[in-house]
Copies of this chain bind each other. A is one copy, B any other.
Amino acid sequence: MGSPVYIQIHNEIKKAIEAGKWSVGDRIPSERELAVQFHVSRMTLRQAIQTLVEEGILERFVGSGTFVANQKVQEKMSGVTGFTDLMLAQGKKPSSKTISYHVMSPSLSESEKLELKDDTQVLRMERVRYGDDVPISFEVATIPLEIVDGLSKQEVSESLYRTLETKKGLVPGHAKQMVSASSASERIAEFLDIKRGDAILRLRQISYLQDGRPFEYVRTQYVGERFEFVLEK
């Protein structure tokens, strides 16, 4: 395998816990013991443990040892879904109007967030999203071309998340979102049928596949008065 040793050990320990070798509250062997078992130095073994601690899977106590932590509800978080499911869950009819749809070279910011190689092309599309025919948001989605390879414009535009799962078996893993408030520009206001300067909920989202690869970067501007973001933590 090509990945660093400490990642490999990380995975092996994780699998062992999932397989039931150690249960919640159990003490796992000491760092020195594990280092011998895995034929690595203690520092390298510690690095593997470190990442597991950061994931909340293990806990360390000086003098006592390293224990399997009781798992939080973290992964129970509402799954990563797209606009379509979001609207349907609210009993609203989802629809959208595609404003633009182009294959192009990514901006520096996009390239960075999607972790792209230099020569990679992306699909960028601007859409206005509606719930029960009332404009809810304006969004700019950027997707690496390879992800949507072989899919029709219709499939990509209508419901990317559903299409990726059914056609390619690609399931989103997690997403990172940044939320802030702003005010609408002239152009956006027109699309959303509001006045320039009206309150806008700005959301930038990077969605990752289960293997950790980013596959979509979306900048969304929601109409402040028509949208509310609910989350539990």
> Which residues of A come within 8 Å of B, CB atoms?
73-74, 77-80, 174-183, 197-202, 222, 224-225, 227-233
The residues of B that contact A77 with a CB separation of less than 8 Å are 233
Tell me the bound Cα distance from A218 to B177 in angstroms: 22
Whether B233 and A174, one on each chain, are in contact in the complex, defined by CB atoms closer than 8 angstroms, is: yes
Whether B231 and A231, one on each chain, are in contact in the complex, defined by CB atoms closer than 8 angstroms, is: yes
Partner of A230, one of B73, B79, B178, B225: B178
Pick the 8 closest A-B CB pairs, nearest first: A181-B224, A181-B201, A179-B229, A181-B199, A180-B228, A181-B181, A183-B199, A77-B233
The residues of B that contact A202 with a CB separation of less than 8 Å are 181
The residue on B at minimum CB distance from A229 is: B179
The residues of B that contact A78 with a CB separation of less than 8 Å are 233
The residue on B at minimum CB distance from A177 is: B231
Tell me the bound Cα distance from A225 to B181 in angstroms: 7
Whether A177 and B224, one on each chain, are in contact in the complex, defined by CB atoms closer than 8 angstroms, is: no
Whether B200 and A233, one on each chain, are in contact in the complex, defined by CB atoms closer than 8 angstroms, is: no
Whether B232 and A177, one on each chain, are in contact in the complex, defined by CB atoms closer than 8 angstroms, is: yes
Q: How would you classify the secondary structure of chain A's contact residues: helix, strand, loop or mixed?
A: strand
Given A80-B233, A233-B80, A201 contacting B177 (CB threshold 8 A): no
Partner of A179, one of B197, B199, B228, B232: B228
Whether B227 and A176, one on each chain, are in contact in the complex, defined by CB atoms closer than 8 angstroms, is: no
Tell me the bound Cα distance from A227 to B228 in angstroms: 17
The residues of B that contact A229 with a CB separation of less than 8 Å are 177-180
Whether B178 and A200, one on each chain, are in contact in the complex, defined by CB atoms closer than 8 angstroms, is: no
14 contacts between A and B (CB under 8 A): A77-B233, A78-B233, A174-B233, A176-B231, A178-B228, A179-B201, A179-B228, A180-B228, A180-B229, A181-B227, A182-B199, A183-B199, A183-B224, A199-B199
Tell me the bound Cα distance from A224 to B184 in angstroms: 12
Whether A175 and B233, one on each chain, are in contact in the complex, defined by CB atoms closer than 8 angstroms, is: yes
Whether B181 and A230, one on each chain, are in contact in the complex, defined by CB atoms closer than 8 angstroms, is: no
CB distance from A30 to the nearest CB of B (A): 21
Tell me the bound Cα distance from A165 to B172 in angstroms: 37
Tell me the bound Cα distance from A176 to B74 in angstroms: 13
Whether A179 and B177, one on each chain, are in contact in the complex, defined by CB atoms closer than 8 angstroms, is: no
Tell me the bound Cα distance from A24 to B197 in angstroms: 30
